[in-house]
Amino acid sequence: MDLQSIVFNFSEGDGKNKQLLGGKGANLCEMTQLGLNVPPGFVITTEACIAYLENPDKGLNMELMNQVRNQISVIEQQTGKVFGGADNPLLLSVRSGSALSMPGMMDTILNLGLNSVTLSGLIQKTNNPRFVFDAYRRFIQLFGHVALGIDDELFDQHFSKIKGDAGLASDVAMDASHLQKISQSFLDVVEKQTGRSFPDDPYEQLELAIKAVFGSWNGKRAIAYRREFNITPQMANGTAVNVCSMVYGNMGNDSATGVGFTRDPGTGENVMYGEYLLNAQGEDVVAGIRTPKPIAEMEREMPDSYQQLVTLRNKLEAHFIDVQDYEYTIEKGILFCLQTRNGKMNATARIRTAVEMVAEGLISKSEALLRVDPDLLEQLLHPALAPNHNFTSIVTGLPASPGAASGKAIFDADRAEAIGKTGERVILVRVETKPEDIHGFFASQGILTSRGGKTSHAAVVARGMGKPCVAGAEGIEVNVKNREATIGATTIREGDLITIDGSTGNVYIGEIPTVEPEFSENLKVLLGWADAVAKLKVLANADTPAAAKKAREYGAQGIGLCRTERMFNDVDRLPIVVDMILADTLNDREQILNRLLPIQRSDFFEIFKVMSPLPVTIRLLDPPLHEFLPNEQEILEDLAQLTGVQKNIQGMDTLVANLMYLDSSKVHTTLPEPFNTFNSDLVAQMIAKKQNMLNKVRQLYEVNPMQGHRGVRLGITHPEIYGMQIQAILEATAQCQKEGIPIEPEIMVPQVVTTKEVQVIKALTQDIASKLEQELGLKLSYKFGTMMESVRGILCAEPIAEMVDFFSFGTNDLTQAVFSFSREDAENKFLPNYVNKNILENNPFEVLDVTGVARLMKIAIADGRKAKPDLKVGICGEHGGHPASIATCHAMGLTYCSCSGPRVPVARLAVAQSKLRADAI
Neighbours of 587 (CB within 10 A): 10
Pairing type for strands 92-98 and 384-385 reads unpaired
Quote the least distance from Cβ 824 to a copy of itself, whole Å: 5
Among 145, 382, 457, 718, which one carries the catalytic annotation? 457
820 interacts with a copy of itself by CB under 8 A: yes
706 interacts with a copy of itself by CB under 8 A: yes
Hey, CA dihedral for 629, 634, 637, 638, is it positive or negative?
negative
User: In Å, how far are 414, 482, 628, 683, 691 from 582, measured between CA atoms?
Assistant: 49, 57, 11, 18, 11
User: In Å, how far are 845, 887, 908, 913 from 849, measured between CA atoms?
Assistant: 8, 12, 21, 20
Candidate list 66, 479, 482, 851; residue touching a copy of itself; CB under 8 A: 851
Stretch that binds a copy of itself, among 57-65, 189-197, 332-340, 834-842 (CB under 8 A): 834-842
788 interacts with a copy of itself by CB under 8 A: no
Q: Judge whether 478 and 432 are in contact, CB under 8 Å.
A: no
Assess whether 899 carries a catalytic annotation. Answer: no
**Cβ nearer to a copy of itself, comparing 64 with 814:** 814
Pairing type for strands 506-509 and 783-788 reads unpaired
Assess whether 876 carries a catalytic annotation. Answer: yes
Pairing type for strands 469-471 and 446-449 reads parallel
821 interacts with a copy of itself by CB under 8 A: yes
**Cβ nearer to a copy of itself, comparing 388 with 717:** 717
Stretch that binds a copy of itself, among 492-500, 530-538, 696-704, 771-779 (CB under 8 A): 696-704
Candidate list 789, 892, 897, 898; residue touching a copy of itself; CB under 8 A: 789
3-state SS string over 426-477? EEEEECCCCHHHHHHHHHCCEEEECCCCCCCHHHHHHHHHCCCEEECCCCCE
Q: Judge whether 463 and 456 are in contact, CB under 8 Å.
A: no
Proportion of the chain in helix, strand, coil states, percent, rounded to 5: 50, 15, 30
Neighbours of 62 (CB within 10 A): 9
**Cβ nearer to a copy of itself, comparing 143 with 821:** 821
Stretch that binds a copy of itself, among 159-167, 343-351, 386-394, 701-709 (CB under 8 A): 701-709
Quote the least distance from Cβ 876 to a copy of itself, whole Å: 17
Nearest CA among 822, 832, 728 for reference residue 782: 728
- The string of DSSP letters for 227-250 reads HHTT--TTT--SEEEEEEE---S-
65 interacts with a copy of itself by CB under 8 A: no
Please tell me what DSSP assigns to residue 12: T
857 interacts with a copy of itself by CB under 8 A: no
Across 620-743, the runs of DSSP E, i.e. the strands, are: none
Candidate list 362, 652, 764, 795; residue touching a copy of itself; CB under 8 A: 795
Residue count, binding to a copy of itself (CB under 8 A): 48
Candidate list 751, 786, 843, 914; residue touching a copy of itself; CB under 8 A: 751
> Which residues neighbour 662 within 8 Å (Cβ) at sequence distance 6 or greater?
675
Cis ω for the linkage preceding 613 (within 30 of 0): yes
808 interacts with a copy of itself by CB under 8 A: no
855 interacts with a copy of itself by CB under 8 A: yes
818 interacts with a copy of itself by CB under 8 A: yes
Quote the least distance from Cβ 860 to a copy of itself, whole Å: 12
Which three-class secondary structure state does DSSP give residue 753?
A: coil
Among 876, 889, 897, 899, which one carries the catalytic annotation? 876
717 interacts with a copy of itself by CB under 8 A: yes
432 interacts with a copy of itself by CB under 8 A: no
Stretch that binds a copy of itself, among 474-482, 659-667, 780-788, 789-797 (CB under 8 A): 789-797
230 interacts with a copy of itself by CB under 8 A: no
Stretch that binds a copy of itself, among 69-77, 198-206, 700-708, 724-732 (CB under 8 A): 700-708
Quote the least distance from Cβ 224 to a copy of itself, whole Å: 20
754 interacts with a copy of itself by CB under 8 A: yes
756 interacts with a copy of itself by CB under 8 A: yes
Which strand ranges, in their side-by-side order, compose the sheet holding 477-479? 477-479, 484-487, 490-493
Chain residues binding a copy of itself by CB under 8 A are: 702-709, 713, 716-717, 751, 753-754, 756-757, 760, 789-792, 795-796, 813, 816-822, 824-826, 829-830, 833-834, 837-840, 849, 851-853, 855-856
Residues assigned a catalytic role:
457, 876
